[in-house]
Structure 1
């Protein structure tokens, strides 16, 4: 049975699609590292996409190398041991720290890491509640990307390019950091791992 937090999330994002069962070994691997509530979502919901692929609950193992690359040399590289728990269609990664139970965001297209630095080393006293609030208060706008005129791109990208698969993301070519423009004409579907590696190199 879904808790109230996750039910609010589903009310906003719809039922899951592209569902993949989570092995019991993965649940045990992350026990005592990620919130029990998240492991419960894995067991009941699987690793799945929502809202036509706008938002995904993911296997942290698939993103560990990419996350390590993005954190390398940053101020928060050694603050905690972070694990990616979710991603969006534009390649942003949402990670959770196992020591302090705080979240960070890798905003890949914007080329930065978003974190509340003042709280990163303050241990979260109720990780399950914090995780639940992350889902319950999420809106589709939180995971969309705006064009240079301030208009959301996801629905238009979906209509033009079709949904992204588990290994894909929407990206701009050329990349924004190389002078690309944030508009629909420059948006393409790309392999996520490859493109996130390139974006990390471009920002250094």
Structure 2
């Protein structure tokens, strides 16, 4: 176990709802996804961390979601490898070795620089774990949502109803436990996916 993963486990705790990854799946994604990710799969399977805050997922189960968000609009082949409880999606670019992060709840994205070596690709996976530990992927609502709505199942997420893109508010009373695949595809249809603008607030 590498040092970053050890810190990740100390911070977010033991995995939940773990499903073993069949050897055939590891073999299928060999050379398509970073070796480090495949090692995590072998160790813990597809599962949630932080009580369901962050999930490593089976990319095949989210092919429809990926197609809904980036299908036909990309020169890369993307695989959804992880997601947050609120629908922040982490997609791996098979050809470029880039990480595409989509905040589905407000249809914004950013993309990392390409990576050309196995080491660079593995480092991006470790950076993803650091992101899950240090950024506010729970929107300051996760603990309250979990207490009020209950723990998420592996196929669920917390979603705002109505969606934020339709004028809903990011408050606890607007959250529901929803089927992740269905809700993420619905969100993809509500607004065009736009890049994060780092100087957006300054321009306003």
TM-score (norm 2): 0.87
Q: Which moved more, 1:38-47 or 1:129-138?
A: 129-138
Partner SS, residue 19 of structure 1: strand
Shift of 1:58: 0.6
Corresponding residue for 1:96? Answer: 92
Shift of 1:137: 5.2
From 149, 152, 169, the equivalent of 1:161 is 149
Corresponding residue for 2:124? Answer: 130
Q: Distance in 2 between matches of 1:8 and 1:93?
A: 22
Partner SS, residue 168 of structure 2: coil
Corresponding residue for 1:18? Answer: 17
Partner SS, residue 139 of structure 1: helix
Asked whether the equivalents of residues 93 and 106 of structure 1 are also in contact (C-alpha less than 8 Å), the reply is: yes
Asked whether the equivalents of residues 64 and 185 of structure 2 are also in contact (C-alpha less than 8 Å), the reply is: no
Which digits, 9 at most, give the CA deviation of each residue in 1:74-122, with x for residues without a partner?
4xx12x2111111111122111111221101121111122224xx2xx4
RMSD: 1.6
Q: Which moved more, 1:56-65 or 1:136-145?
A: 136-145
Residue ranges of structure 1 left out of the alignment (5+ in a row):
146-151
Which digits, 9 at most, give the CA deviation of each residue in 1:154-193, with x for residues without a partner?
0110111011111111111111111111111111111111
1:54-65 alignment, distance < 5 Å: 54-65=53-64
| 158 and 30 in structure 1: CA distance in 2 versus 1, 3 angstrom threshold | same
| 48 and 89 in structure 1: CA distance in 2 versus 1, 3 angstrom threshold | same
Aligned length: 190
Q: Distance in 2 between matches of 1:55 and 1:72?
A: 24
Partner SS, residue 136 of structure 2: helix
1:140-151 alignment, distance < 5 Å: 141-145=135-139
Residue ranges of structure 2 left out of the alignment (5+ in a row):
193-204
Q: Distance in 2 between matches of 1:67 and 1:160?
A: 30
Q: Distance in 2 between matches of 1:183 and 1:140?
A: 22
Q: Distance in 2 between matches of 1:198 and 1:141?
A: 25
1:37-56 alignment, distance < 5 Å: 37-56=36-55
